[in-house]
Amino acid sequence: MTQRKLARKSARKPARKPASNHARKAPRRWSAAVTRRSDALDLRRGVFTLNDPKRIAGSLKRSALRSTRRKADPYRSALSMLTFYLNRAGKNLPAARRKTLGRAKAELRRQFGRDGRKAPKQAPKQAPKRAAKRTAR
C-alpha cells in the first residue's frame, strides 16, 4: 500500500465491535415488580417456603380475604398468586417443592369449597342394544 492509502485507512473510525461483546444489562426482574406492585394480594413474607400445604393454603386464603388490593374474588386471587409463583419458579423448583405447592393448590380449592368433586350425573337409562344378526354367506 502506498503512504497515502495507509494514512487514509488509519484516519477512519475503528470498526464497531459485535453486539455480543457489549456488556449485558442486568435482567429486569419483572416478576418481582409484579409481586410488589400488582393489585393481586398482600402476602405474608415467606408463605411459599412453608412445608405444610395446609398452612400455605390457609395463609393464602387469609391474605386473599383480608386484602383490599385484589380485583377478583378471594379464591381466584389466592389461586392465581400460587400459580404465578409456580410458573415463575419454572425448572429451578425442586420436584419435592413443586409437589408440596401442588398439594397446597388442591388444599386451597378444598378450603374455598371448590374441590370440583360433584356427584356424578346419572345417565338416563337406555334400552339395551341388540346385537346385529349375522347371516352366513
Domain residue limits, the chain: 39-114
d(CA 137, CA 121): 44
d(CA 14, CA 65): 62
Mean pLDDT score of the chain, rounded to an integer? Answer: 77
In the predicted structure, residue 126 carries a pLDDT above the cut 60 = yes
Please indicate whether residue 97 or residue 71 has the higher confidence score (pLDDT). 97
pLDDT on residue 55: 94
Task: Indicate the burial class of 66 (C-beta count within 10 angstroms; 0-12, 13-18, 19 or more).
Answer: exposed
What does R_g of the chain's alpha carbons equal in angstroms? Answer: 31
